[in-house]
Amino acid sequence: MVAELKHEISQNAYIKLVLHSLKHKTTAVNGVLLGRVNPQNESVVEIIDSVPLFHSNLALLPPLEIALIMIEEHYGSKGLGIVGYFHANERFDDAELGIVAKNIGDHICRYFPQAAVFLLDNKKLEALPKGKDQSPVMQLYIRDASKNWKLAGPDGGSRLVIKEPAANVVLSDYISSEKWQDVVDFDDHLDDIKMDWLNPELFK
């Protein structure tokens, strides 16, 4: 049952996507989630890494297709695949999952039916430095039986968890040190191929 699924995201995968959205605060940004179904528990999708995609022209198909091919080639050799999609809206007060996010989510679901879409929750992100909340600053969307994207209900918090409980503390530290400036996305890479979309130095 899809309803039983739980998505567990690693600290680095989580922080990388949030920092990407902070680097481009005035535009929509997106990214993909890499992982696999837990071999011991098929109801858990393990998200092990993430790749920041774009901060301009999110709906353009050719760059997206190039990015997905390169990502699948790189991570496929490690036994990982694209298991979900991340989106941050342009406007701070926009908490709706838009058509671009739904379409890309649908595309990923064709290859990985358990895929989820994470939408940045700006209000939670803004409250991060003030609170002790360990829950992700993201909303979890899953597809229902009629293939429509729905916000996970009241139990959504238990179905999207960060593997490391202190991730938000680390994220707060990175935000205060402006670590988001170091994030490279696919847009940056397409502008200058020397910029590495894998962000190997980000957490060094």
Least confident of 47-51, 57-61, 164-168: 57-61
- Whether the per-residue pLDDT at 143 is higher than 80: the answer is yes
**Taking all residues of the chain, what is their mean pLDDT, rounded to a whole number?**
93
Alpha carbon 184 to its chain centroid, in Å, reads 14
Residues in the chain: 204
Q: For residue 122, what are the CA distances in angstroms to 91, 125, 165?
A: 9, 5, 20
Gap between the Cα atoms of 66 and 148, Å rounded: 26
Least confident of 60-74, 120-134, 138-152, 162-176: 120-134
Contact at 8 Å (CB) between 88 and 118?
no
Beta-carbon neighbour count of residue 4 at 10 Å?
Answer: 9
Q: Which helix (H) or strand (E) holds 36?
A: strand 29-37
In this predicted model, what pLDDT tens digit does every residue of 51-104 receive, in sequence order? 999 999 888 889 999 999 999 999 999 999 999 999 999 999 999 999 999 999
DSSP H stretches of helix in the chain: 11-23, 61-76, 99-111, 122-127, 156-159, 167-176, 186-191
Find where tokens 């999110």 sit: 58
130: confidence class by pLDDT, cuts 50, 70, 90: confident
Can you give the pLDDT at residue 2? 45
User: Strand, coil or helix: what is 39?
Assistant: coil
Angle at 156 between CA 152 and CA 157, to 5 degrees: 155
Gap between the Cα atoms of 5 and 42, Å rounded: 8
Ramachandran angles phi, psi of 195, nearest 5°: -80, 125
Contact at 8 Å (CB) between 2 and 43?
no
- For β-strands 149-151 and 138-143, DSSP reports them as antiparallel
